[in-house]
Amino acid sequence: KNPRYRAAANAGEMAGALARPRNASDDRINELPEVLLSDILSRLGTAEAARTVVLSTRLRDAWLATPLRLDDLELPVPARGKVPSIEPWTARADVVTRALDSHPGPVALFRLSRTSFRGRVPAAEAWFRQLAAKRAREVSLCFSPEWCHDALADPLLGCPTLRVLALGKCHLSDAGASAAAAAALTELTLSETCISEAALQSVLSGCPALRSLVLKHVHGLQRIRVSS
């Protein structure tokens, strides 16, 4: 198995065991330093961390102090028959909203590959504003081409802590690109994204640390000029 998943499983077992006091006066969680609790939670997947923090107030406090890692591949899938056929993807959007609303940041990872914006573009744009405000480090949005989202992702270009950005089925405006200030951004991938030539040049100028640029089926470009 992948070492990361083994570590997450071990961390989950450890957190569960620690949350079960040996007797009424013996809660071992309160004996642990905050840094250790934070380390345990940082090794858990999104769903596992959510289940763990309800075990104690101390764990929840540690979770709030731990950079958020949100990957929708780790979110629970709605049971068949419980939601209409097109709803499982949008149902996850509600979970994403609650997670971002409840965590103060920073956000270490925000990755969506099966959460649809269909009918929820305003919510998605609110996520982008929150991610910028909560000092996101890595944002990856990878969507199926048939899902037409076209959410405006401008706020992410102004996030000074962002290091990796992958956008799929989004839109970047000229005004937003001209205000790009992602000084720490080293990797940028645009897929099925709408951006003008002028906007792309503005983005490149506003991201001085950029080392990798990947463009896939980008709309609005006739030619590309890149200088280093």
pLDDT at 179 over 50: yes
The answer on 85 and 175 residing in a single domain is: yes
User: Which pair of tokens denotes residue 84?
Assistant: 């209409």
**Of 41, 66, 91, which residue sits at a domain end?**
66
> pLDDT above 90 covers what percent of the chain?
38
Instruction: Look at the block and give the residue holding tokens 């937003």.
Output: 176
Instruction: Give the helix ranges, DSSP H, for the chain.
Output: 3-18, 34-42, 46-53, 57-64, 87-102, 121-133, 174-178, 197-206
Domain span holding position 227: 67-228
Q: Both 38 and 127 in a single domain?
A: no
- pLDDT of 157 > 50? The answer is yes
Same domain, 127 and 46: no
**Which of residues 66, 96, 121 is at a domain's end?**
66
209: closest CA among 189, 181, 185, 180?
185
44 and 154, same domain (yes or no): no
124 and 183 together in one domain: yes
In a shared domain, residues 34 and 110: no
Do 161 and 206 belong together in one domain? Answer: yes
Same domain, 83 and 100: yes
Confidence of residue 137 (pLDDT cuts 50, 70, 90): very high
- Which residues partner with 189 through β-bridges? 166, 214
For residue 126, what is the domain's CATH number? 3.80.10
CA torsion, points 47, 49, 53, 58, in degrees to nearest 10? -170
Would you state the pLDDT for residue 24?
42
Q: Crossing angle, helix 46-53 and helix 3-18, to 10 degrees? A: 10
For residues 196 and 220, what is the distance between their CA atoms, to the nearest angstrom? 5
For residues 132 and 27, membership in a common domain is answered with no
Q: Minimal CA–CA distance to 152: which of 196, 189, 122?
A: 122
Instruction: Say whether both 32 and 71 belong to one domain.
Output: no
Domain boundary pick from 44, 66, 88 = 66
| pTM, full prediction | 0.77
CA distance 72 to 93: 9
Q: In total, how many domains does the chain have?
A: 2
Strand partners, 155: none
Across 5-9, 143-147, 218-222, the highest mean pLDDT is recorded for 218-222
In this predicted structure, what is the pLDDT of residue 5?
43
Strands 212-216 and 187-191: parallel
The one-letter amino acid code at 97 reads: T
Write out pLDDT tens, residues 108-123.
999 998 887 777 788 8
* Residue 131 and residue 71 share a domain: yes
| Residues 185 and 210: beta-carbon distance below 8 Å | yes
Does 8 have pLDDT greater than 60?
Answer: no
Is pLDDT of 166 > 80? Answer: yes
Query: Is 28 in the same domain as 130?
Result: no
Closest CA to 15 of 47, 61, 56: 56
Distances (CA, A) of 207 to 98, 105, 139, 144: 31, 23, 15, 27
Dihedral, CA of residue 151, residue 153, residue 155 and residue 159, to nearest 10: 150
